[in-house]
Amino acid sequence: MVSPSDCAHRNKNDTQKTLHTRPAAAMGILVIGLAAIAFGLALSVSVGAADIRLTTVWKAIFHFNPDVQKHQVIRELRFPRAIAGALVGACFAVAGAIMQGMTRNPLADSGLLGLNAGAGVALAIVFASAPSLSFTSLMLFCFIGAAIASFIVFGIGSLSFNGLTP
């Protein structure tokens, strides 16, 4: 009979072996992924209320002309928004991987520890009590609400017989 630790050890060795014996395949996947991200960013910048051609996006990024209105729209509005979206997506990916590693649950997400609910409750309370707060203040209160919710979840979890276990 095979124990779970044998399977985990075997899977870890297989993964390391695959990565070390096929660096060209890993590099190819990385290059294709980066090209897909770059194309997606360019496409997200070009599509909007006024469609802008990809050549115009290229010129606005690498050969900026402040006299052209489309270049200004791309440089000041669309491109920063697209970059921010890509960075937020990357942060969500890293946070999800950390959450899955911490809990040893491949389906874990931020809702597992009540982070979404805590941030939502804090946002509702702040909107009801002080609707004119700045966006930065709203983000701060949402962060505090998520932290309080996670402390409550960890506190309830630590009251169990075995304590906290992933």
Which of the four pLDDT bands, split at 50, 70 and 90, describes residue 5?
Answer: low
Give the pLDDT of residue 19. 56
Side-chain half-sphere of 110: how many Cα atoms within 13 Å? Answer: 16
Reported as a single tens digit per residue, the pLDDT across 74-117 is 999 999 999 999 999 998 889 889 888 888 888 888 787 888 89
Write down the mean pLDDT value for the chain.
Answer: 85
Of the two residues 19 and 145, the one the predictor is more confident about is 145
Helix axes 23-46, 79-103, angle to 10 degrees: 140
Give yes or no for residue 25 having a pLDDT over 60. Answer: yes
> Could you tell me which residues come within 8 angstroms of residue 96 by beta carbon, excluding any fewer than 6 positions away?
108, 109, 110
Give yes or no for residue 34 having a pLDDT over 90. Answer: yes
Reported as a single tens digit per residue, the pLDDT across 36-52 is 999 999 999 998 888 89
Give the pLDDT of residue 165. 72
Give yes or no for residue 148 having a pLDDT over 90. Answer: yes
CA 36 to chain centroid, in Å, comes to 17
Which residue in 48, 74, 47 sits closest to 61, CA to CA?
Answer: 74
pTM: 0.64
Contact 154, 164 (CB under 8 A): yes
Show me where the domains of the chain are located. 7-106, 109-166
> Could you tell me which residues come within 8 angstroms of residue 26 by beta carbon, excluding any fewer than 6 positions away?
19
Structure token digits, residue 26: 């890993």
Of the two residues 49 and 33, the one the predictor is more confident about is 33
Cα separation of 144 and 152, whole Å?
12
Cα separation of 158 and 145, whole Å?
20
Output the CA–CA distances (angstroms, integers) from residue 88 to 19, 62, 144, in the order listed. Answer: 28, 24, 19
